[in-house]
Amino acid sequence: MNKTIGILAHVDAGKTTFSEQLLYHMKSIQNKGRVDHKNTFLDSHQIEKERGITVFADQGKFTSSGSTYYLLDTPGHVDFSPEMERAIQVMDYAILIISAVKGIEGHTETVWQLLKKYDVPVFIFLNKTDREGADVDRVLKEVRAQLTKDVYDITTAYDNGIMQEDLIEFIAERDESLLNTYLENGYEADLWFHTLVKLISERKIFTCSSGSALNNSGMVDFFEKLDQLTDTTYIDDAAFAGQVYKIRYDDNGNRVTFIKALAGTLRVRDLLRCGDEADKITQVRVYNGKNYQTVNEVHAGELFAVTGLSSASVGDGVGECQKKAKYDLVPTLKSKVVFDPSISVKEVLKYFNMLDAEDPSLRMIWDEQFQEIYIHVMGVIQLEVLKQLVEERFQLNVSFEAPKILYKETIETTVIGYGHFEPLKHYAEVHLKIEPAPRNSGITFENICHANDLSIGNQNLIRHYLFERDHHGLLTGSALTDVKITLLTGSAHHKHTSGGDFREATYRALRQGLEKASNVLLEPYYDFKIKVDLDEIGRVLSDMQQAHGTFDPPETIGGKMTVTGSAPVANLMHYNTTFTSFTHGKGVLNLRFSGYDRCHNEAGVIERIAYDKEADPAYTSTSIFCAKGKGYKVPWNQAENAMHMDRSV
């Protein structure tokens, strides 16, 4: 039986120490490492050793009771949370580490919400019980108040299938049919054991234990219970299906794709399909830390890596699984890459394309006009790590400008955009209906164009061009979002039209429509949850008002004043330092990206960015027509009347 177990926590809760103890206990490693000694097994990168934090989600492997375990140690720092989210998607079970001293911290709740989203069953371990200030009962109350009421401290209530009366009652409350069986036939150990396993896998019960990972207290007992109470079912006798959760480049420059096998068997030299492409697998690797063994085949439920797969991206399904993952934790900041002009731009682009493949949240942008590279980031710590990473891996000295907010744009009126591209020996015309869509819905597409007007192939080309890149809005040049675009009609010439003509006509139709629309600037928002003592709540409410936030009346939860609400990222991105200062590190600040909404200071942002829509080389709203063998330009406000197709659609 193959089981993938993830270790998650707020930074400094003891997650990596827990992983080291578990791997040592299971004889996967010969020596226990320590974060403060800079010799941990899974934090193997020099950057992780120096900083004492996990940056990359690495995996260990061990066997127990006939099962093979794949252990994923994930980053706890918020700047590297996209790496953590990508790992969550391939977990069978998760171990959530919570400090018995600090209790539930800001990032703990973010982790919990992600585990809920991806439907991952959770075992909770309250760590650092040997430290001064540790209070298991207090933290358990916090868990019940802030995470789930379905948590049960199983430390003494369960032992090799034997359950205490309190645990029996706890299970019975969540399975009415079992309660009836109990009343009729009494306690049947096997039935109650299998029911507990099922309820854990269905996230209806969350078991909890406590101890000290550093001192190996409670660790063995915790894992023995986890070993007994977890179960996975994977089908080998099926076509291969898998999900890509990580991409790395090895020391030889080979692209290494990490996959969770969801079904079937994969062998060396098999063709593996991703989307419309298929690549031959040249090598299959099974990793334990930074070390790996090559194998000839892997089976359902295993974590492994392959070489030879060039087309897949992180989050892609492969083989019979062709779904694409969508991530919640996305950067709200962007930063310009600064490098010596004597260095070849192509060389820098090559390296950042590799980093972009490894971490798709970077979403690298190449500005052809200004020959500049931009990346999307979560925070300044990530930039510090990236600078060091680029220097170590590529011997390239780069720096980054201070992060700036990632704005987006949308419209609030419905328009029809017209685009025509007809220089000599070229021809394409496109009519698009562009209308507002619900907030944070992105760009959606509908096609009502008749095949008599435009071939299906050309219709598909138009759709492709609408989704091939972010499209610039008119206010700041930021990415267009939250619109529904409908292809109404279009036309081609049987002799002079080529595929690229429709790119030109589509872009011009989109831009011409935006010129007529009422445009709106959007900015990212955080949902915040703040917990402080009573004498500090006034300061917090005043700060949130000044940050243009909205919030509900404060509540008393677990002895703390708690306030929840929403505010612009721009006004909270540096708030953590201020908050830590006036709460003396005892308050809890949880910031979670909630999406985009109207910019609170639109005029000021537009003035500061000073985007010139007429000088954007990637876009123009002007159409091109042809007369007497020559192309001529028609500005956007006159183009509609010059179109060849019927505009009554």
pLDDT of residue 115: 95
Residue 448 shares a structural domain with residue 594: yes
Report strand pairing: 255-263 vs 550-551. unpaired
Q: Read off the pLDDT of each residue in 635-640 and give the average, rounded to a whole number.
A: 94
Query: Residue 416 domain-assigned?
Result: yes
| Rounded distance between C-alpha atoms, residue 473 and residue 133, angstroms | 53
Angle between helices 575-582 and 537-546 (to 10 degrees): 160
Q: Which two tokens stand for residue 195?
A: 């029911």
Q: Which run of H or E residues covers position 384?
A: helix 380-394
Q: For residue 39, what pLDDT is reported?
A: 53
Average pLDDT over every residue of 78-97? 91
623 belongs to a structural domain: yes
Instruction: Over range 251-267, report the average pLDDT.
Output: 92
Range with the lowest mean pLDDT among 181-190, 290-299, 316-325?
Answer: 181-190
Q: What is the pLDDT of residue 31?
A: 63
Q: What is the mean pLDDT of residues 284-306?
A: 92
The answer to whether residues 434 and 483 touch, using CB atoms and an 8 Å cutoff, is yes
List the beta strands (DSSP E) in 415-459: 415-421, 428-436, 443-447
- Going by pLDDT thresholds of 50, 70 and 90, the confidence category of residue 35 is low
Same structural domain, 634 and 506: yes
Residues with Cβ within 8 Å of residue 286, at least 6 apart in sequence: 61, 292, 293, 295, 298, 302, 303, 304, 305
Q: Give me the residues paired with residue 489 across strands.
A: 431
Mean pLDDT over the full length of the chain: 89
At 454-468, the pLDDT tens digits run 999 999 999 999 999
Q: What is the pLDDT of residue 100?
A: 94
pLDDT of residue 45: 62
User: What is the model's pLDDT at position 168?
Assistant: 86
Asked whether residue 530 is assigned to any structural domain, the reply reads: yes
Pair 164, 69 in one domain: yes
Q: Are residues 491 and 543 in the same domain?
A: yes
Range of the domain at 281: 241-319
Considering 184, 199, 228, which residue would you say is the last residue of a domain? Answer: 228
pTM: 0.84
Of 540, 516, 525, nearest in space to 637 by CA: 516
Q: Is residue 235 part of a domain?
A: no
Same-domain check for residues 506 and 613: yes
Contacts 24+ apart (CB under 8 A), 68-71: 68/1, 68/2, 68/3, 68/302, 69/3, 69/4, 69/5, 69/26, 70/2, 70/3, 70/4, 70/5, 70/302, 70/303, 71/5, 71/6, 71/7, 71/19, 71/22, 71/23, 71/42
The pLDDT confidence band at residue 180, using thresholds 50, 70 and 90, is confident
Could you read off the pLDDT of 539-559 as tens digits, one per residue? 999 999 999 999 999 988 767
- CATH assignment at residue 306: 2.40.30.10
Here the tokens at position 536 are 């500090």
pLDDT digits (tens, 9 = 90+) for 422-480: 999 999 999 999 999 999 999 999 999 999 999 999 999 999 999 998 999 999 999 99
Give yes or no: residues 266 and 370 share one domain.
no
Question: Are residues 529 and 414 located together in one domain of the fold?
Answer: yes
- What is the predicted pLDDT for the residue at 174? 87
pLDDT digits (tens, 9 = 90+) for 569-606: 999 988 988 998 999 888 888 888 899 999 999 999 99
Q: How confident is the model at residue 344 (pLDDT cuts 50, 70, 90)?
A: confident
Q: What pLDDT digit, counting tens, does each position of 1-16 carry?
A: 899 999 999 888 888 8
- Within 13 Å, how many C-alpha atoms sit on residue 567's CB side? 27
pLDDT band at 79 (very low <50, low <70, confident <90, very high): confident
pLDDT band, very low/low/confident/very high, at 48 (cuts 50, 70, 90): low
35-49, 311-325, 353-367: segment of lowest average pLDDT = 35-49
The model's confidence at residue 66, banded by pLDDT at 50, 70 and 90, is confident
Average of per-residue pLDDT across 178-191: 78
CATH code for the domain of 92: 3.40.50.300
613 inside domain = yes
Is it the case that residue 37 has pLDDT exceeding 80? no
> In the predicted model, is pLDDT for residue 158 greater than 60?
yes
Given this model, what pLDDT does residue 446 score?
Answer: 96
The pLDDT of residue 42 is above 70? no
Beta bridge partners, 212, equal 217
> Is there a single domain that holds both residue 339 and residue 207?
no
238: which DSSP letter? S
Contact 489, 417 (CB under 8 A): no
Domain-ending residue, one of 406, 423, 448: 406
> Where would I find the beta strands (DSSP E) of 122-188?
122-127, 151-153, 158-159, 162-163
Three-class SS of residue 524? strand
Tokens of 190: 């096997």
Whether 373 and 478 share a structural domain: no
356 domain residue, yes or no: yes
Whether the predicted pLDDT of 643 surpasses 70: yes
Examine residue 327 and state whether it is found in any structural domain, yes or no. Answer: no
- Distance between CA atoms of 575 and 593, rounded to whole angstroms? 15
Rounded to whole angstroms, the Cα distance separating 295 from 68 reads 16
Q: What is the pLDDT of residue 159?
A: 80
Q: Tell me the C-alpha distance between 380 and 390, whole Å.
A: 15
Q: Could you tell me if 526 and 612 lie in one domain?
A: yes
Residue 620 maps to a domain: yes
* 448 in the same domain as 357: no
Specify the CATH number for the domain of residue 526.
3.30.230.10
Q: Which of 170, 197, 228 marks a domain boundary?
A: 228
The answer on 265 and 184 residing in a single domain is no
For the chain, what is the domain count?
A: 4
CA–chain centroid gap for 225, Å, is 31
Which tokens sit at 401?
């400008």
Q: CATH number of the domain that 366 lies in?
A: 3.30.70.870
Q: What is the pLDDT of residues 359-402, one digit of tens each?
A: 988 888 888 777 889 999 988 888 988 998 898 889 999 999 99
